[in-house]
Structures are given as C-alpha cells and as structure tokens.
Chain A
Amino acid sequence: MSVMERARTRTTEEKNSAGRERPPRPRSRAGATPYLFLAPGFALFLLLIAYPMVKAFQMSLYDWNIVAGATSRYIGLDNYRRAFHDPLFWRGLQNSGLYMALTVPPQIVLGLGVAILLNNKAPGRAVYRVLFYLPVVTSWVVVSLLFQYLFADSGLVNWVLHDVTHVTGHDTSWLSGRWTGMVAISALGIWKGVGWSMMIFLAALQSVSKDLLEAAALDGAGRWSTFRVVTLQAIRPALLFVIVMLVIGGFNVFVSVLLMTGGGPSDSTQVLLTYMYKQAFTNLDFGYGASIAVMLTVGVFVLSIIQLRAFRSDEELA
C-alpha cells in the first residue's frame, strides 16, 4: 500500500507545485538500459494484448469470415448498430450489471470483515487465512461444476432449504430461471472472491498507524468511531483498488455462467461475455462477437476512470 500512498503524496506535491516551473529532469546517463529492461514486458504486451485488441476492433467492422482463404466484407459500424437493436445484447448487459451489483458489495463487506477478524492475534490465524484464500486459487471450471451440483434441482442447496429446514415449500429449480440462476452464479462469485479482497484488506490493515489507533483510544473514541475515522481512512486506497478491480471482474464474468447455466434456458442468464462467445463460436459470427467485446472493453474502461475520478474528488473535498 505504501506505493499507493507515495503515489498520492506525489500527486498532492504536483498540485502544490502547479504554476511553478518544474526543474528539467536530468538526462539519464543510462542510455538504453531502462528501455532494454522494459523491452521483454513491452514485447509481451504488444504481442498478447495490444495486437489482439487491434485485431478484434478490425474484425468488428467486418462481416468476418473465419474460413481460411475466404473474403470478409467491410460493413462499417453495422455490427454496433445491430447490437443496439438486439434485445439479447441488452439482456446480457443487464445480467452482467446484475452480477456486479450482487457480488461486489458482499465481497467488500465480507472481505473487510474477515480481514479485521484475522488481523487480531489469534491462534490458528494462518490456517484461517489459507482456508479463506483457497477458493481464490482453485480452478473456475472445477468450482463452477461443483456449484452446478450444489444448486441442481436435487442438489445440496435444495436439500438444506427444503428437506431439512423447510425454508422453502418446494425444491427450487435454481438453474432454470433468470433470477434464481443469477443468484446461484453470484453465490459462487462471492464465495470465490471474498478471499482475494480479504488479502488486500489484510495487507492494508497492517499499515494502519498504531499511534493513531492509540491516540483515538486515549481520546475515548469507541470501536466504531475509531474504525470510521482512523482505520477506514488509512485503507481508503486499498478500498478504491478493490472496488475498481471487482467491478472490472464482475463485468468480465464468463466461465461460471458458461458452465452453470450455459446462458440458458433460452438465453435468460446470458451475460455479455457468454453472449459474445455464443455469437463468435457457436454462430461463427466473429464480427458481431468482436463488436460486443470492443463495447465491453470501452464500457469497463470508462467505468473505471469514473470511479477513480469520483474517489479522488471526494478525497480532495475531505
């Protein structure tokens, strides 16, 4: 987190020095060395990220024909227009947004809660950390299939809710409806994601100044006030980072939906990425699939910028 703090102090310094001319940076005598260090990473970035992105954008402007030797027809923005009038595209966007809304707040609240608990010296702390973090490093495919079993019509969830506790009057067909399906998919997202936000918060909590905590205690602040005024302020950068990353992750949900419901029945649980996948790899409409991917990328990028801005501005107000 110190990196983030340094970054913040630097921005304030820059703000303070605004208007004054900054001294010119001394020309580095290192010559090509830094660039050579950058080269491997940059080459990877160009090869594996930049090139496919440009290619996808190019594809989105064509009625792209995948078969070798076939010609593709340039159709300009037709694919984007088509998405605009495609109810399934909008449903995918809604479902992606719904998934984000259902998974981001619980991951932050639960992640922070668990992190605070594990921040105290307690026996077996390391074991619990590992246990909470375990879902994060397990394969998406494995846990998606596992949750498909749990939420199956005759699965464990129905057994607990209906047969054992009688919370529900009958077995719920979780994966056959839009809302219940999204709940099941979100449950997996939360369970798998809590460990990750916990880790980030845990690291942030360890950098909370002990002096401030003691001072707050001396001033007679209660637990809640101390948390609000001292702890929460100290972990703000981490909180921002977690929120931005989770929102991006939420919009990029794919594997769990593909495996648990396949976007079905009749496209009711389709999210943006599964719809993109269906268009590209089932209907072989790569141009249309690419246009959905491009729009998702732009959307997430803009959303992230807005979040960073919003956070920074109310920090300045504070």
Chain B
Amino acid sequence: MARRTPILLACTAVAALALTGCGSSSDDSAGGGSSAKKVTLTFWGTYGNGGNSAQTDALEKTVIPAFEKANPGITIKYVDMPYDSLLQKLTTGAAAGQLPDLVRADIGWVPKFGALKVFAPLDQEMSGFQKLADDTYPGSLATNRFGDHYYGLPLDTNTRVMISNPDALKKAGIAQPPATFSDLKADAPKLAAHKISVYADSGLQGWNVYPWIWSAGGSVTNPDQTKATGYLNSPQSVAGVQMLVNLYKQGAIPNLIIGNKGAVQTSDGLPKATYATILDGPWMADIWKGQYADFKPVYSPVPAGPGGSVSVVGGEDIAMTTASKDHAAAEKFIAFTQTADYQIAMAKTGQMSVVKSLDPQESAAVPAFAPFIKQLATAKPRPSVPQAPAIDTALQDELTKAFEGKESVQDALDKAAAAIDPLLTQAD
C-alpha cells in the first residue's frame, strides 16, 4: 500500500498535466447551442490609444449597447489595445489562428491583410455592400481596396491640423499661429528665447513627415504608387524635410521626434507651453478636456509652403476576418457602423464620419470639426499598398539618421526611396 502511493501520485500528476496541456481553449465565438441562437463577436480596436477614455466609453456604454438592443442574441466583446500592438497581434494571430471577428484597422493596414487573406472580401461576401460603399467618401473607400476587391468599409476619417498654445505664442510676442514655412522659421528663435520649442512631433513616419513634404511641393511616390525614387527624394521633398532638420539642429524641435522616450509627450508639452505648436487630430480635444481643463487650443491649417497647406489623411476601416465563425452577425455589425447611431456618437469623441449623407448632422453635432473638414479638402492619403507598415519603418530609420546629423537629408531620402521602391510592388 505504502509503496503504491508514490506511483499513484505520479500517475495522477501526469494525467493532470496531460489534461491541462491538451485542454481545449475556451472559444468565445462559439454559438450557445440553445434554441435561441446566441453569438459573441470579438471586436479588436485602438479607440483607447493614448488613454482616450472618451472614445472607449462612447463605444462601450452607448454604441455597442444600442446595437445589442436592436440585435438580440448578438453580443459584441470589444478588446482595446495600443496602436502598434494591434498590427503585431493581427499578424501573429493570423499565424496562430487566433483572430477576432471584427477589426477596426488603420487605413494603411487593410491592403496588407487583404493580401494575406486575413480580412474577408466584403464586396463578395456582404449583401448590400455596394450601397453602403457608395455612401462613403471615395478617398476613404479606396483605402480598403487591394487588387479587384474591397476588404473593409470606411469607419472614420481624420487629418492633422496645426494645434497651438496661444499662451506660449503670446510669451514670445506672437499673435497668430505660424501660417507659412517662413512664419515657422521666424517664430523659432523668438520662442527659443523663452525655452519654448516652436514645433514638436513624436516620430518620423509618413503620418509625421508627409504633410511637410507635400506642403513643400514634394511628393512620396508616382501617381501609380509603383516608384518612390525621383519623388520622395526630389529637391522639393528634400527641402520640406531639410526645414525640419534645420529647426531640430537649432534646438527648436525637441528630440521626441527621433524617439527619445524621456521627452515630454506632445499631449502634455503643448498644454504646458513647453511646445508652441504640434500637428494632430480631432481626438485631442477630449484627451485635454480631462487633464488640462483650462487649456484653450487654437486650430489652424498646416503651415503652407511652396506646395500649399497639404496634410495627410488618416482614419480607420472596419473589416471582418475570414476566421469569423458567424459572417452574418459580423456583417450586421459592419452595416450598423455606417449608421448615424455609430457615426455621430463616435464623431462627438473626435472620430470624423465617413458617411456623406451624415455631413449636415455631423457639422451641427460637432462644430469643432470645421478646421479639419477644411484641411481634408486638400489632404492626401499615404501609399495604399500591402507593405505600408514596412514603408514607414524604412522612412523612420533613414530620417532619424538625418536628424541626428549622421547623414544628409538628401542621402537619407535617397536611401529611403531605394528601400521603398521594391516594397511598393511587393504583393504581400
């Protein structure tokens, strides 16, 4: 008896181990199996990025409950994650077969996941797709296209405008936010005398630098999006970046731009008058409302250069994964995102509507969008290709060297363009 006990114990342990090792993982999207069909759809997104509780609250307390009430039996489980992590999680999730049903994806990512067959072609799968698509802005809709199909629908749009701190400008005796490149260059030393940076940004990817390149009269690729050499490294493009590098070397732009994690973030630096101006989107108002109630930001167009005042189009699309177990339910939610219940509720938190027919309603609900709507009229999209994330990495890597003074701007953009050329034509 006594001799047997260890054997028994060990057997039990091994058995327990085997069971836990091979146990089935809980499946969120499995049907309840009862008579009334119950579905839980998992929805991944980045609404809370940067600690923005206004957006996640609107989604989880207003929008999703409204949908669930109208569609009994369908539960939406929203999972929020940081912006960069979502791209990673989607990629690794695709490999591991652990994907959500619905994704709010950056407009730059949809072609990539369409090419990888992670997102389903909505134009083939979804009844009523065309009608919904026709009611969105063509520029936003185009970001969902890869090859001959559409792998998502527009969800929200945005652009960057200049946001300035009037108190910081006033300290240096400046009455108006810089409206042109020359203003920006002239304001820099005046503000530096008060230890204020004229402009701050937190990276050197397309989202950060294209507005300066386009406003300088430069370009990123040819119109077909098949070549960057000759465009990204044209004299005008170089001039746009060179202006930023010169300001950086004068100390008028903080090293946050090259990725110093110890620098003051733009969302804190602007209200604290450490930075005089930034470029950012319509969601910032809500972030400041909580933390810096007294801050009164001023919105103005991106400073104009030889090419005018040209900003970058941002936004997100809604996509359904091919792995989703219940396409019918997922399509219901996608259709719901195109209604006023979704678009206007999220507009109030800084996510601009993509549905044309809702324009008057949106302008009435959120008058603060006026400067963004004006900027969007001339704003341009980033290259819409599967390798978009890799393009951003190449650009950031080379431009950082230019800012650190290890390379000339011309060399950096030459190398970046050479690295980006093959990425533009790479399918997946």
Contacts and interface: CB of A to CB of B under 8 A. Distances in A.
Interface of A: 32-33, 36-37, 39-40, 43-44, 47, 66-68, 148, 151-155, 173-176, 260-262, 264-267, 281-284
A233 B116 CA distance: 62
The 3 A-B residue pairs with the shortest CB-CB distance, nearest first, are A36-B10, A175-B262, A176-B260
13 contacts: A33-B10, A36-B7, A36-B10, A37-B6, A43-B14, A66-B91, A152-B263, A153-B263, A174-B262, A175-B260, A265-B255, A266-B400, A283-B390
B11 A67 contact: no
Contacts, number: 93
A264 B261 contact: yes
B397 A151 contact: no
A177 to B, nearest CB: 9
Q: For the side of the interface on B, what is the size category?
A: 20 to 34
B357 interface: no
A176 B7 CA distance: 59
B262 A68 contact: no
A265 B258 contact: yes
Nearest to A35: B10
Interface in B113-129: 116, 118
A184 B241 CA distance: 31
A21 B264 CA distance: 72
Interface in B90-107: 91-92, 94-95, 97
Given A33-B6, A36-B10, A265-B400, A148 B95 contact: no
A14 to B, nearest CB: 29
Interface string B1-33: 001001100110110011001000000000000
Given A47-B21, A66-B91, A66-B95, A39 B261 contact: no
A67 B401 contact: no
Given A33-B7, A176-B263, A44 B17 contact: yes
A39 B262 contact: no
Nearest to A264: B259
A154 B264 contact: yes
Contacts of A155: 262
Contacts of B18: 43
Contacts of B260: 153, 173, 175-176, 264-265
Contact of A40 (B6, B17, B118): B17
B130 to A, nearest CB: 29
Contacts of A283: 390, 393
B2 to A, nearest CB: 12
B262 A151 contact: yes
A98 B167 CA distance: 45
A60 to B, nearest CB: 17
A261 B255 contact: no
A283 B17 CA distance: 35
A83 B7 CA distance: 49
Contacts of A261: 261
B88 interface: yes
Contact of A67 (B95, B259, B263, B264): B95
Nearest to A38: B10
A67 B262 contact: no
B21 A36 contact: no
A151 B261 CA distance: 10
A266 B401 contact: yes
A43 B17 CA distance: 8
Contacts of A66: 91-92, 94-95
Contact of A281 (B92, B118, B255): B92
